[in-house]
């Protein structure tokens, strides 16, 4: 089930998975995940946290398509609208 998420909610999840958000500050939304200190493992963890904590199941390949928090939010939003 792909439920939308706000940027703030996503940034909170990213922070619990090890993201370094302070430096990026207000630009965190457009920072590539790598720059925020999130590697492939951390992104898998983000996926798991969303599944377990938020009831959001990301479709296969989703993480390969999005590279910044804003892209993530937009793509998830688009997907959830497709379904409904």
Instruction: Calculate the CA 32 to chain-centre distance.
Output: 11
In the numeric block, the tokens 């497709």 are attached to 82
Q: Is residue 78 near other proteins by the rule CB under 8 A?
A: no
User: Applying CB under 8 A, which part among 2-10, 23-31, 46-54, 66-74 lies near other proteins?
Assistant: 46-54
How many chain residues touch other proteins (CB under 8 A)?
A: 15
Binding flag, residue 23, other proteins (CB under 8 A):
no
Interface with other proteins by CB under 8 A: which residues?
Answer: 17-20, 37-42, 44-45, 48, 51-52
């Amino acid at each position: 089930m792909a439920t939308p998420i706000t940027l703030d909610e996503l940034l909170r999840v990213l922070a619990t998975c090890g993201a370094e958000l302070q430096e990026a500050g207000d630009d965190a939304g457009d920072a590539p995940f790598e720059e925020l200190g999130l590697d492939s493992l951390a992104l898998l963890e983000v996926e798991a946290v969303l599944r377990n904590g938020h009831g959001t199941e990301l479709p296969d390949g989703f993480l390969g398509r999005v590279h910044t928090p804003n892209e993530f939010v937009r793509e998830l939003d688009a997907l959830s609208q497709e379904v409904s």
